[in-house]
Amino acid sequence: SIAPQTCDIASWVVVAQGLARMADGRVYNFSAGPSMMPLEVLEEVQREMVNYKGTGMSIMEMSHRSKDFMQVANEAEKNMRDVLGVPDGYKVIFMQGGATLQFSAVPLNLLGGAKTKADYIITGQWSEKAHKECAKYGTPQAVCNSKPTKFTTIPSKADWKLDPEAAYVHYCMNETVNGVEFKTTPDVGDVPLIADMSSNFCSRPIEVRKHAYIYAGLQKNLGPAGLSVGILRDDWAAGKNEMKICPTYCSWKITADNGSMYNTPACFTLYVMGEYLKYTKKVGGLTYWDEQSDKKSRLLYDTIDGSDGFYKCPVEKSCRSRMNVPFTILGGNEELEKKFMEQAKKVKLYTLAGHRSVGGCRASLYNGMPVEGVEKLSDFMKSFMDENRK
């Protein structure tokens, strides 16, 4: 059974009805992002596309300062706070440019004061890129760097080199390319903590109070591409450490002071995010997504680990990602991996190629991917192994 353990019957009926309609022409899309979304969310967007709630216009045609759109934006922010448990003392902001722009925005907003050094925990390509970007504006320091292991592990805390005088410590909670995930919030002492949570955002409860800033692109677990969400401690929204060269559009203070509407936001993305949040509340919130993530990732890793080496995940078991599962076939047999991906399409399993920089295969198991899709992938992997084992 794929019914959740803690959700009520009504919530499960909503999900089951969606699975029953998972049908007609749609495939199981294992893309790392943009990614598969719940059918119910897409259908609601479809229903409202041409004439949003009787206004006579699409949400894409509507002024972002109109009463109708402001209601959409305000409700979305409220639901974001409710779903994630954002406490008082934090602002929720929305910025364009995705999480990648935040690689610049973080130092630009924080290294303009007395402290110009920042610590970075480097466990994959995205935290590596954030560290590199910081060097344009200040002095980034590597707390640790797992690149020598090809980003397949998280170094032991005993090997970290934390600077108690750093302006902040930055980490990426889930590395999309490399398939490495922190299972708990890192303990960095009294230095403010910043998290890039782009690819596991809304897949599990998070400890907001242990962070000064959390940011995430929406296109993995919460909607289409176009926006990043920021959960920002109030004192950091005052701009006291903002660099003079910080572009207006990167300023957290400007964004917060203007309710994320200094200029026209990505209106359609914001609207779809709001619908995704409503659906999240309907099915049981982060508890539901957390249970589903456990179930899906366990199923896939069990298939890989039980293949007697035919499939192999390079990531250390203690830090394997529940969102992004990289694997190779017969030690990286490119001809066989290509065959695997082509045959998978015949049974509606799409976008299983690994990132272009690492190769192999990768299955991304975001919230929009139903357990049924992972079951089908597991069954296909077993049959493919039986047919191609040497």
Active centre residues (catalytic): 126, 196, 220
- In the DSSP assignment, the letter for residue 260 is T
3-class SS at 297? helix
Q: Specify the pLDDT at position 3.
A: 44
Report the amino acid identity of residue 324.
N
Q: Specify the pLDDT at position 2.
A: 42
pLDDT tens per residue, range 86-95: 999 999 999 9
Low-confidence ranges of the chain (pLDDT < 70): 1-23
Distances in Å between the Cα of 387 and the Cα atoms of 43, 179, 259, 382 are 38, 27, 57, 9
Whole-angstrom Cα distance, residue 385 to residue 208?
43
Q: What is the pTM of this model?
A: 0.92
Q: Specify the pLDDT at position 15.
A: 54
pLDDT tens per residue, range 108-133: 999 999 999 999 999 999 999 999 99
- In the DSSP assignment, the letter for residue 24 is T
Tell me which residue has tokens 């400007």.
254
Report the amino acid identity of residue 313.
C
Q: What are phi and psi of 231, to 5 degrees?
A: -110, 110
